[in-house]
Amino acid sequence: MKIIELKDIGKTYSTGKAAVAALQGVSLTVEEGEFLAIMGPSGSGKSTLLHILGFLDRPDSGEYILGGKNITGLTDNQSAILRNHMMGFVFQQFHLLPRISSLENAELPLIYAGKRHMKEKAMERINDVGLAQRALHRPNELSGGEQQRIAIARALVNDPLIIFADEPTGNLDTRSQNEIMSIIAELNSKGKTIIMVTHEEEVAGYARRIIRMRDGKVIADEALHKDGIPLGEIRRSEKKKNIPDEKTANPISVSVDAIISGSRLDIKRAEFTDHFRQAFFSIISHKMRTALSMLGILIGVAAVIAMLALGTGAQESIRKQLASLGSNLLMIRSGSHHLRGVSLGAGAIARFTFQDVDAISKLPGVKCVSPNVSGSGQVVYGNKNWNTQVQGVSVKYATMRAAVPTVGRFFTEEEVRMRARVALVGTTVLRQVFGEENPIDKYIKIERVNFKVIGILPEKGAAGPRDQDDVVIIPVTTGMYRLLGKQYIDSIDVEVSDISLMDEAEKSINELLIKRHRLATAKENQDAFEIRNMADIKQTLESTTKTISMLLGSIAAISLLVGGIGIMNIMLVSVTERTREIGLRKAIGARESDIMLQFLIESVTMTLSGGIAGVLFGTGIAMLLAVVAGWTIKVSLFSILLATTFSIAIGLIFGLWPARQAAKLDPIEALRYE
Ligand code: ADP
């Protein structure tokens, strides 16, 4: 039965100026069970013909009929599937992958056929070529002859229709040559069709038919007599055995049809786990290089994690501090903020009195008002003393500034009126002065004046460098007249009844104070007092921290980008370095998508593991900063997900181009790559 029929095949290579006609009008018929040797001087077109026969290359003209089916003009994918299922290749250079065992080399065609469940076939074939005990050795631990035997096992593993051998003994000594040729001859005697290129008559002597080529043409086609039986005889007897009726559908044609149309059920794809294994092997075989290129991603991701942790930490601590102050709070201070402490001469600074407080509390939209004075003072209890901030406030302060005591009570209106010597202590003062002792109803001295402690203020935490709990609170009147010796109020807190009235209230307070203090010029107004709007401050702080986070984030993103370019670079190097490996994979049936997937998995594995290491490293840095520098940090799940997604995306994006380069390689050119 005819397996292959070539009609008038032509192939021309154009390299730069000159066009070389590698094949000119070659017609050839190959019968099932034949052992065909192609001979001829170097450059006569033997390899080109073999490659075209084996779907590794495509003719420019002519027709290819496989099992009675015209299959000229297959797509790359169809060729790959046909190679995988119907052809086995044995090359002069063996082309075993160096980093995996002989057994795994022999398994490769099964993997690309999606038949990993049939892996024992690989071992059976290795056993057939007599190398069972060396199956787990790597190719570089085997002799040339043994490597070629493994390559033959690999070619047989998918039970192909035809074996193509390109100078199979060209790299072997005589003893190995004889071994290999007897294996091939035995395969033929068991019915395998074999097409072999050789330039050695001795090797060709194993064949049953020789075609001789010169200048791209077949110049002779000889049948060899074997063991006294003419070839024609053998063919006739085989025909009788195998094909009872020429009219029944050609089984090869049927399966070629099914393979091409994709209707054969056993045509499967390589599994993801196999791709992953292939990728994994190549990653671990270049540990140092992989580690270095992962470092870029690691640093980038660590930066993202640490910076986001700092950013959200800062934002959160600011938000917490601001939460203790109502948003609809206006704070009026005498003297302009930036000129505080600088003497401006009489009249330039507004000096607030209780009359001002009364007048402000009567303005529309104002809910409550609290006057404040502050100064520093030394607190003494027993043999302990501590310098702290003393604040004189009114009763309303407790609710306006979230200062309702956790233990004890706040002072009353009566006590304010009486200028009572009662005090509430912040937790820092409590720790420093009382230690573990209960302070309630104890007497302390503030600047040598006796005060009774009536409550402990709730803990507020630090606002930047200032410890908000390092404070003692006393009635505003006591503060002014008995302790700090002040005639005027330092600042007034105003709570507005609704946030929508803030601007209006601010304006009317401004007008009121100008009128009451007879401030004339705009310049004086500016310096005399200052109204701060909490809502504005909050917004400014939040947008500032957001800006800082974004800035830090973009620096981190840039470092990730740089890391990604590093990955791309390594992947391109890897593709170039492994060109022959890619050629081999394609020759034994890997499709473009298989190669592409393998390289993409490689780059994503690198970036993802870099990313995971980066998440751990970045979290470590953030924690270190929290402990050593005392910064507030927060590693959010969001930032971890973001960093992980980012590192996967970088692997995909920067691996895509190298992977495409690899997938598009021409198998023959890739195999010849030096
Ligand atoms: P053989 O195997 O008989 O030595 P080849 O089939 O390799 O011959 O080559 C036939 C001719 O085609 C030679 O002249 C060779 O230089 C040319 N040739 C083969 N492959 C290429 C190619 N990829 N590009 C350009 N010329 C080629």
pLDDT band (50, 70, 90) for residue 652: very high
SS3 8: strand
pLDDT digits over 571-626, tens only?
A: 999 999 999 999 999 999 999 999 999 999 999 999 999 999 999 999 999 899 88
Q: Are 200 and 33 in contact (CB under 8 A)?
A: no
- Is residue 43 lining ligand 1, measured as CB closer than 6 Å? yes
Q: Is the pTM of this model over 0.85?
A: no
Q: Whose CA is nearest to atom 16 of ligand 1?
A: 43
Q: Does any ligand 1 atom lie closer than 6 A to the CB of residue 22? A: yes
Strands (E) in 487-601, as ranges, are 491-496, 529-533
Ligand 1 pocket check: which of 9, 11, 20 to mutate, most ligand atoms within 8 Å of Cβ?
20
* Residue from 55, 74, 75, 81 nearest 195 by CA: 55
| Residue 620 phi, psi dihedral angles, 5° rounding | -60, -45
SS (H, E, C) 103-148: HHHHHHHHHHCCCHHHCHHHHHHHHHCCCHHHCCCCHHHCCHHHHH
pLDDT, tens digit, 9 for 90 and up, residues 402-432: 888 989 999 999 999 999 999 999 999 999 9
Question: What is the token pair recorded at 593?
Answer: 């998508």
- For residue 157, the Cα-to-chain-centroid distance in whole angstroms is 37
Residue 198, ligand 1, Cβ within 6 A: no
Q: What residue's CA is closest to ligand 1, atom 22?
A: 13
- With a 6 Å cutoff on the Cβ, whether 46 touches ligand 1 is yes
Nearest to residue 425, comparing CAs of 412, 413, 437? 437
Amino acid present at 535: A
Q: What is the CA radius of gyration of the chain?
A: 44
The dihedral built from the CA positions of residue 201, 203, 205 and 211, taken in this order, carries a sign that is: negative
Q: What is the number of the ligand 1 atom nearest to the C-alpha of 216?
A: 10
By three-state DSSP, how is residue 75 classified? coil
Q: Pick the more confident residue, 60 or 514.
A: 60
Residue ranges and CATH numbers for the domains of the chain are: 2-269 (3.40.50.300), 283-320+540-672 (no CATH), 351-516 (no CATH)
40 Cβ inside 6 Å of ligand 1 = yes
Region at 40 (left for phi over 0; alpha for psi -120 to 50; beta for the rest):
left
CB count in 10 Å sphere of residue 72? 15
Please choose from 14, 47, 215 the residue to mutate so as to test ligand 1's pocket, defined by most ligand atoms within 8 A of CB.
47
Whole-angstrom CA distances from 367 to 274, 330, 417, 449, 496 are: 72, 11, 21, 34, 5
Rounded CA-CA distance 674/667 in Å is 14
Residue 15 beta carbon below 6 angstroms from any ligand 1 atom: yes
The secondary structure of 636-647 as a DSSP string is: -HHHHHHHHHHH
Q: Which of 9, 11, 12, 13 to mutate to test the pocket of ligand 1 (most atoms within 8 A of CB)?
A: 13
Q: How far apart are CA 160 and CA 71, in angstroms?
A: 18
Residue with CA closest to ligand 1 atom 14: 43
Ligand 1 proximity of 45 Cβ (cutoff 6 Å): yes
Q: Which atom of ligand 1 is nearest to the CA of 672?
A: 23
Residue 44 in contact with ligand 1 by CB distance below 6 A: yes
Residue 182 confidence class, pLDDT cut points 50, 70, 90: very high
Q: What is the mean pLDDT of residues 140-152?
A: 93
Backbone angles phi, psi at 390, to 5 degrees: -110, 130
Say yes or no to pLDDT of 319 above 90.
Answer: no
DSSP summary character for residue 65: E
Gap between the Cα atoms of 303 and 610, Å rounded: 12
Structure tokens at 100: 């995996």
Q: Whose CA is nearest to atom 1 of ligand 1?
A: 43
| pLDDT band (50, 70, 90) for residue 465 | low
